[in-house]
Structure 1
Amino acid sequence: MEERQPLWDATQTRILDAADALIERRGVHGVTIAELARRADLSRPTIYRNWSDADDVVRAALLRRVDGILSTFSADARTRTALVDDVLRFTTLFRSDPLYGRLLADEPEAFTRYTLQRVGSSQRMILRWLARAISSAQGDGSVRPGEPQEIAVMLLLIAQSAVLSHGTVADLISEAAWERELRAALDGLLRP
């Protein structure tokens, strides 16, 4: 069943805005219900009516960031080349996002916990986007046959691994070479 796009009401938006500011300033460990309430100028019970704990708020804030990045893509790619271009553009936007950039640079263990230890809402949103584009590009013959969802999973794994490891290998490979090699890996996975 297709998951719905998240919609946040005005109160939830205030809470998520507070979470964004706390994560950017202090990291995920600085996000507490008390701090969220203070920064959003809301009561703790109001926050608990929307999320069960601070961890859930962090997950929702990160989901909202992914949703924001994906909303910059006006349409799904229809060719392999356009799909690879979109994935590379997504990785650039993701790495430069203030929240995800902070996690990648300063809290890689938190990045791993929130994005790699389980497939959460953010990854499912990305997988739906990738599967639609893969299916479309299969229609024009530029992407190999296969189950779009399964190909999307592997595409996500490659891109996530490259993004997570980028800082580790930055002294070994230039930014241009990193992008070129990631492009080759993605293109190779999709090529008929």
Structure 2
Amino acid sequence: MTDGVLAEALGAGAGAVDPGDQVVARILDAAREEFARFGVRRSSIDDIAKRAGLSRNTVFRRLGSKDELVNAVLLRELRGLIAEVDEVTAHGGSGTERLAQAFGVTVLRVRGNPMFAGALGHRRDEVLEYAAVEAGQLLRIAVRYVTELLERDQRRGEMDDRIDVAGAAEVIVRTLHSVVLTPHAGRRLHTEEELRAFATEHLAPLLYQR
């Protein structure tokens, strides 16, 4: 499901970056490390090229501008996260159980991501600005992905076919977005058990009959 969601969400440009290209992988690895250590604003193409052991021109030829490089890094991170959620939700259980597992895994993986964790710890303003203003594309991809998961449950008869799955998916993604960014507001939501319980109690009832 991962590649299909990304390709559809990104349109014709989805295949522009080949994740199997070893030079591209070196650039993305170097960029990820730079962003995690110094933040996006303080990381330059020259720094990334030096860390990758490549020329500045090679980085530009393979991935384009800095903005395009940032997007490529974030999309690779998202690709990995979606693949992990695919794995979690493929092992059966009820819709409620799958939703709770996916919710817990997603929040903890994003919080634990080196780029996010490093930036949140030392450059919180940068993270919050990106999350509030620039994260629309990633959130749209996430909504499309969750919509596909819910549509699958609807086809299986696990969910009332009158439910607006696209709207429900947006509620789930916006809740994830909020919980990731503000873990200390109100109820404690730090461990996977706490996150699963939250999703079971407050999100699952919107979709599944107990």
TM-score range, shorter chain: 0.7 to 0.9
CA RMSD of aligned residues (A): 2.8
Question: Is 1:186 aligned to 2:206, yes or no?
Answer: no
Q: Deviations over 1:55-106 (max 9, x none)?
A: 3322221221111122223275672331232122111222112222223333
Deviation at 1:158, TM superposition (A): 0.8
TM-score (norm 2): 0.75
CA contact (8 A) 2:49 2:59 kept: yes
Q: Deviations over 1:103-139 (max 9, x none)?
A: 3333333323434424544333322321111111223
- Structure 1 segments unaligned to the other structure (5+ residues): none
TM-score (norm 1): 0.81
1:156 corresponding residue in structure 2: 173
CA contact (8 A) 2:100 2:199 kept: no
1:128 corresponding residue in structure 2: 144
Mark the CA change 1:48 to 1:63 in structure 2 (over 3 Å): closer, same or farther. same
Question: Is 1:74 aligned to 2:87, yes or no?
Answer: yes
CA contact (8 A) 1:127 1:156 kept: yes
CA contact (8 A) 1:31 1:54 kept: no
CA contact (8 A) 1:23 1:31 kept: yes
- Distance of 1:58 and 1:130 partners within structure 2: 23
- Distance of 2:145 and 2:158 partners within structure 1: 17
Mark the CA change 1:107 to 1:182 in structure 2 (over 3 Å): closer, same or farther. farther
Mark the CA change 1:82 to 1:178 in structure 2 (over 3 Å): closer, same or farther. closer
Per the alignment, in what secondary structure is the counterpart of residue 91 of structure 1? Answer: helix
Q: Deviations over 1:130-180 (max 9, x none)?
A: 1111111223444343332222112100111111111x438x636358523
Identity %: 24
- Distance of 1:55 and 1:75 partners within structure 2: 32
| Residue type of the alignment partner of 2:106 | F
- Structure 2 segments unaligned to the other structure (5+ residues): 1-6
| Residue type of the alignment partner of 1:68 | G
Per the alignment, in what secondary structure is the counterpart of residue 54 of structure 2? Answer: coil
Task: Find the partner of 1:45 among 43, 54, 57.
Answer: 57
Alignment of 1:82-161 (within 5 A): 82-144=98-160, 145-161=162-178
- Distance of 1:114 and 1:51 partners within structure 2: 20
- Distance of 2:189 and 2:105 partners within structure 1: 17
Greater relative contact order, per chain length (Cα 8 Å cut-off, separation 6+): 2
